[in-house]
């Protein structure tokens, strides 16, 4: 299952519409959404699948953790193969 937030055409969104634990920062802010917001949602679901934990806490309805901090590396949650844990999962591969 993937959380692609609120399905719709790319463009401006209302702040905070979507699933709090998985929404992209631009979605939390109410900025313009594009394909990157869907990639964020898929990454958040994959993070939960790899760690068993949601990436950001959605309990406090007055704030969005994804606007305040970076997520901890997966190795902080569970043992992973060295090659997987060492990989930086930001942006496109450079090699």
**Interval 59-82: pLDDT, tens:** 778 888 888 888 887 778 877 777
Q: What is the pLDDT of residue 82?
A: 73
- Token duo for residue 5: 């937030």
According to DSSP, residue 22 is labeled: T
Angle, CA of 70, 62 and 71, to the nearest 5° = 10
The model's pTM: 0.70
11: nearest Cα among 1, 26, 23, 21: 26
Question: What gap in Å lies between CA 61 and CA 94, rounded to an integer?
Answer: 38
Q: Return the SS3 of 75.
A: helix
Angle, CA of 70, 57 and 38, to the nearest 5° = 65
């Amino acid at each position: 299952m993937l959380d692609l937030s609120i399905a719709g055409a790319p463009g401006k969104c209302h702040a905070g519409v979507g699933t709090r634990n998985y929404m992209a920062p631009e979605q939390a802010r109410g900025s313009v959404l594009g394909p990157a917001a869907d990639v964020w949602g898929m990454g958040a679901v994959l993070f939960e699948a790899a760690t068993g934990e949601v990436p950001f806490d959605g309990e406090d309805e007055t704030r969005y953790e994804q606007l305040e901090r970076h997520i901890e590396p997966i190795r902080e949650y569970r043992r992973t193969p060295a090659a997987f844990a060492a990989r930086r999962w930001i942006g496109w591969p450079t090699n």
